[in-house]
Chains A and B, each alone.
Chain A
Amino acid sequence: MNTEHDDRDVEEAFRRSFALLVDRAPASDPEWPPVAIAQVTTSRPTPRGWMVAAMAFLITLAFGLGGLVSPSPSPADSDQFQVQTEATLAVPAPSGAFYPTPADAAIAYATAQKPGIEAPHVTRMFVIYAGQDIVDLRVLVEADDFCHVYGVTGRVEQDELAWRGGPAQPCDGS
């Protein structure tokens, strides 16, 4: 048996396999440009607050759902946004727990909402609010016959951002 020929076969098999996998990679959407959101705080931001705001900006950059992000609130709206954020936090997570990533939090919430859901996965995230030590996201969770947008809130717990899920609404808004 010709070893060199065998190696070429193997390498070609790798290429064909990777072609199939790469073909299924989520595609960039040029219609959703990155959006920078204004940092809104009711008090002077701490370095940690700036860090959270910077992270929030990058989440938005990474998942830029430009058309879906709410207009950045003016400073006059800050208190209202804080109240909304705290209200989100008051909603109990499925296990009452915080999760290490926004995706974990949203998927835990989706799974609690619809037991037996198969292979739920996060397809998009976008930032609603970035305040002092708090980030408020909307996370799109999809599975077969399932598509909901969850409110997910991150807040600093022991110097790490911890995330918990909030109420959802179907993707079509109905």
Chain B
Amino acid sequence: MDDETIYRKNRDDLIRYATVLVGPGGAEDVVSTVILRILARRRLDDLDEPRAYLFRGVLNECKTRLRRRRTHLNITEVGGIPADDPRHHVIQAVLDLPPQQRAATYLVYWAGLTVAETADLIGIRPGTAKRYLHLARRTLKGVLDEY
């Protein structure tokens, strides 16, 4: 599979993944940065697991950007949810999760991957992925109970 095919096959998934991690405004920029960084060193079709490599790259780039801004992603950057909407608190709680936990919950609960597949895409052990899921569920349960 050539570079263009790999890119086209994964682009939309990567954009959605980056949107969940840094918001819609920065998603395309994150993906382009990751592609550039990889291609500065090697070709995509030289990679053993290009999809996993790209997903890990996107998560790392998002973590770097979130560290740099020093504030959590705010729901107002996502838009479309009135402050009095009960979903407001829940979605903000999801955005407040550490990026690794958000990535794990997104891949399992939205993308429908198994814990093992999720661990592979994030570049962690399955046990660590399970721990991220447990911590994220606990956090969101607290918010659901409160509101």
Q: Among B26, B81, B94, point to the contact of A14 (Cβ < 8 A).
A: B94
In the complex, the 7 A-B pairs of residues with the closest C-beta atoms, listed nearest first: A121-B25, A18-B110, A25-B19, A14-B109, A17-B94, A103-B29, A24-B24
Within 8 A of B (CB), among A2-38: 6-7, 9-11, 13-22, 24-26, 28, 34
| Cα separation A127 to B35 with both chains bound (whole Å) | 15
Centre residue among B27, B35, B80, B110 by max chain A CB count within 10 A: B110
A residues 124-151 in Cβ contact with B at 8 Å:
124-125
| Contact among A10, A13, A59 with B36 in the assembled complex (CB-CB below 8 Å) | A59
Binding site for A on B (CB under 8 A): 3-4, 7, 11-12, 15-16, 19-20, 24-29, 31-33, 35-36, 39-40, 77-81, 87, 90-91, 94, 105-106, 109-110, 136-137, 140-141, 144
Range class of the A interface residue count: 35 or more
Chain A residues near B (Cβ < 8 Å): 6-7, 9-11, 13-22, 24-26, 28, 34, 51, 54-55, 58-59, 61-63, 101, 103, 119, 121-125, 161
